[in-house]
Structure 1
Amino acid sequence: MLFTIRYNALYYPVIQGISLLIARRKILMKTAGMLLSLALIGCFVQFTSSRYQKLTGIYQFTPFTGWQMANNALYAYRYVDSAHVKKVPKRLQKIDKMVRTYFDTTRDVKKNPQEMLIASTVYMWAPNSPLSLYMNDQFKGDSLASSLKRWATVAPLLKDYGSFLIQQYPQQFIKYYLLPNALKYYAPPVEFLEYYSTGVDSVDNTTEVWFDYSSKKIKTRFKDFKVTVLNFFPVFTGTMNVVLLFSIISFILLRGYKEYPYLKQGLILVIALWLVNFGFSVFASPIALRFQLFPIIISTSFSFLLIEFLVKKATEKELIVTIEPNMELSKAAIEQEN
């Protein structure tokens, strides 16, 4: 069900697989649980792919992958000097030419402030991005094609183009996309949540019907559409990531896993979630707060559990230190009385 909402759930079976491994269940039940999960996701993938094939004539699960991969690659490709550009395959030459032209005409960041953004999503959604311009050029003779059909039809080529750029310029991709995106994972930016309803005081017909609004005009409890209440989240998230890391290290060093086996199992899942989500998030798409709320809630919850463990450990040591001197005094008093 979560997979039908957002494709981040694609890695959830990995977490489920780990939970099944450490669970005290029969092998048959574990296997059935894993196979059922994969079967449900597989059916959804098959259904969605067939629908896109019917629409575009191309079998693909989600066009979003192609657009995302091309977008991510361009954030590295724009730092490749024209003199060092490698030859591209013939079928990719047209879009590559449009991309290089775009980069050459947007060097002035004062006139093009969007080019100052690092590891963002501008190239996916901006109407003047080279990817959007290429899509429109491919359908300039077909005014009846829907926006979904245009978007989905060019996605496979964009995927090949993005994959080609990443393979040809791996150092630039690591330096200008992966590393900045990894830093965002430490403290996710507020991004679109900075403004309520993206700063617009009205919605379209689809949104009005979907949310059953009485009118297209919307209201906010803030004095304007700027949301400042979330500004503390990046700092809070970064702090809790550090707290979680050192709490886990302390839990291991103090051998808390021997005293609290259930907490140990929970931490195995938390660490697995953190690592898998980190890898998926950094490689797949630019990181933003709205995508990381679930991992943040889990990390924060277990951070407090570990802090409780550390407080108990510290209290136990103080109790031992207090009791031992009293025991010595009691022995001395008994000896003196005898």
Structure 2
Amino acid sequence: MYTGVSTAPLPFKQWIWKNRIYLFVYFIIVLVQFTWFKWLFPYPSFFPDSNSYVEAAYYNQAINMWPIGYSRFLQLFAFIAHYDTALILLQYLLLHVSIIYFLSTVIYVLRPGKWLTGILLLFGVANPILLHMANFVSSDALYTALSIIWITQLCWILYKPNNWLLFTHAIILVAVFTVRYNAVFYPLISFIVILTADTSVKRKMLSVAFSSILLAAFVFHTLHVYKIQTGYNQFSAFGGWQLSANALLPYSYVDSVKAGEVPQKFRQLHGFVNEHNKALATSPYRNDRVLGIYFLWDGNSPLRRYFAAHGGNKTKTPNDFFRRWAKQAPLYGEYGAYLTKEYPMAYTQYYLWPNLIRYYVPPGEFLDVYNMDRDFVEDMEKKWFNYPTEKIFTRTKDKKISYMFVYPYFLAAVNLFYVLGLIGFLTLGGWKASTRYYRSLLVLVLAIWSCNLGFSVLASPIVLRYQVFPMLLSFTFGILLIAYVIRQAFYPQQSEKPALYQ
């Protein structure tokens, strides 16, 4: 019976060196793909987030609309060069180094066999979404790479923990947390894994304490800077705006409550909301009833109009705009929480349920088209990368990425295979037949998958680029679980072998 335990005779580093020819071929293919891709798309792809990240790096801001980690990454890279192709190459290589670290760990520890190993490596190397994601000036590639390293380190902590691994894991944990707050549940999972690892109590306590100190330092620093710049203790101003935007969509479906009937601090804002809903009541197509970015960024949304009425359009510098924008966040967050509490059924029906469907088949959003279908960049992006002109070009027929439409359905199939594989594995006795390590690994993956599902649905409208890391995780373990089910169903006589085909 396949137990999920390695009998590899060599230590991991020696095993890697022994199989270096495969790594060499893998990265040759990666570089050839990159060269061809950059010939087609000589410039990075930019979208609204890009400008914010570059702006924060250019002005050395301590806080920004988005977590500050990627802007710090841009600043660090700027010590080497402001060359855009070098930045994109670094992001692409970080993705593939993290993927090969993860897949090598899975192959070394779980020994899936030649056929499954080939499938996993092919999925890693021949995956065009990685090229397009790395080509963004955005935190997506860095967040995905750090997340893959994070889960791989957890696999090793469960397998064979040591001081260096626990130390570097704390660094990676904090790094990924500063890059995107989707990692908000990562510390809890890391701490549970560390506390259940096969190592001394002293080592566990020191590891958890060190990680906690680093995380607390970042959180309290962020709170302190927000307090100085906006007058409010808050960790993420964008969270307040997003919470309100999420609540306003379902509120557009209910009968309006008069402004005088809501708490005093919300009345003026609520008046803007009711006026907005009344103006669109007879409209055949309402942007405010489509999951997306309408309430956050559209100038006609009540949140933007209220912001403009309170000086939002009178700012002279990016820092001034951000401070005014962030000052609205506490009110918007409280207002969003109030509407959600008042209309829980509408919130469930018109926000949570549609967003759950989007999780299953997420839209490609900015991945579907290069550079938002524009042939120019913003002035800030032009300055940062030292472009002679704001005009950019591609060598493709148009800017549409035609094959990207496959990925939402591919992700839906991957998640379905993972769930069915897990059910089949449990039904066919895989749990009892597996070692404690393999069971722990399956629980870890399920915990990450479940937390990502819950956070993604609750936090904001889901898009494809946020789900690349979970897609890799679901594909890898879905393949392993499905292989077990197939072997038990059709090849029971080979049940003692460690993989479907040897």
* Category of TM-score, reference length = shorter chain: 0.7 to 0.9
Match of 2:448 in 1: 273
Write the letter of the residue equivalent to 2:354.
P
Whether 2:311 is the aligned partner of 1:136: answer: no
Distance 2:226 2:407 in 1: 38
Q: Aligned runs of 1:40-119 on 2, under 5 Å?
A: 40-82=214-256, 87-110=261-284, 113-117=286-290, 119=291
Q: Aligned runs of 1:20-31 on 2, under 5 Å?
A: 20-31=194-205
Match of 1:311 in 2: 486
Cα deviation, 1:117-165, whole Å, max 9, x if unaligned, reads 1x32210111221101111111179655721012101111111111111
Distance 1:291 1:140 in 2: 29
Kindly state the Cα deviation for residue 245 of structure 1 after the two structures are TM-superposed. 0.6
Match of 1:127 in 2: 299
Cα deviation, 1:178-209, whole Å, max 9, x if unaligned, reads 11111111121112222211111111132234
Choose from 285, 306, 319 the match for 2:460.
Answer: 285
Distance 1:218 1:257 in 2: 55
Write the letter of the residue equivalent to 1:285.
S
Match of 1:331 in 2: none
Choose from 293, 297, 300 the match for 2:472.
Answer: 297
Distance 1:98 1:32 in 2: 52
Kindly state the Cα deviation for residue 61 of structure 1 after the two structures are TM-superposed. 1.2
Distance 2:479 2:321 in 1: 47
Give the 3-state SS of the residue equivalent to 1:128 in structure 2.
Answer: coil
Distance 1:255 1:171 in 2: 40
Distance 2:257 2:233 in 1: 37
Kindly state the Cα deviation for residue 273 of structure 1 after the two structures are TM-superposed. 0.5
Largest Rg, 1 or 2:
1
Match of 1:224 in 2: 398
Kindly state the Cα deviation for residue 25 of structure 1 after the two structures are TM-superposed. 1.8
Distance 2:186 2:400 in 1: 34
Q: Aligned runs of 1:140-159 on 2, under 5 Å?
A: 143-144=315-316, 146-159=320-333
Distance 1:211 1:22 in 2: 47
Kindly state the Cα deviation for residue 311 of structure 1 after the two structures are TM-superposed. 3.3
Give the 3-state SS of the residue equivalent to 2:261 in structure 1.
Answer: coil
- Preserved CA contact (<8 Å) 2:487 2:494: no
Cα gap change, 1:269 to 1:222, in 2 (>3 Å):
farther
Kindly state the Cα deviation for residue 10 of structure 1 after the two structures are TM-superposed. 1.3
Name whichever of 171-180 and 41-50 sits farther off.
41-50
Cα deviation, 1:248-290, whole Å, max 9, x if unaligned, reads 0111122223443233222111110111111111111111111
Write the letter of the residue equivalent to 1:114.
N
Distance 1:284 1:167 in 2: 16
Whether 2:387 is the aligned partner of 1:176: answer: no
Distance 1:199 1:267 in 2: 42
Cα gap change, 1:281 to 1:79, in 2 (>3 Å):
same
Structure 1 gaps, min length 5: 321-338
Percent identical = 36
Structure 2 gaps, min length 5: 1-174, 496-502
Give the 3-state SS of the residue equivalent to 1:139 in structure 2.
Answer: helix
Runs of 4+ in structure 1 off by over 6 angstroms are 83-86
Distance 2:385 2:431 in 1: 47
Choose from 264, 277, 289 the match for 2:439.
Answer: 264
Kindly state the Cα deviation for residue 3 of structure 1 after the two structures are TM-superposed. 1.2
Cα gap change, 1:197 to 1:140, in 2 (>3 Å):
closer
Distance 1:257 1:223 in 2: 52
Alpha-carbon RMSD across the aligned residues, in angstroms, is 2.3
- Preserved CA contact (<8 Å) 2:249 2:351: yes
Match of 2:420 in 1: 246
- Preserved CA contact (<8 Å) 1:181 1:286: yes
Match of 1:334 in 2: none
Name which structure has the greater RCO, CA cutoff 8 Å, separation 6+.
2
Cα gap change, 1:302 to 1:212, in 2 (>3 Å):
farther
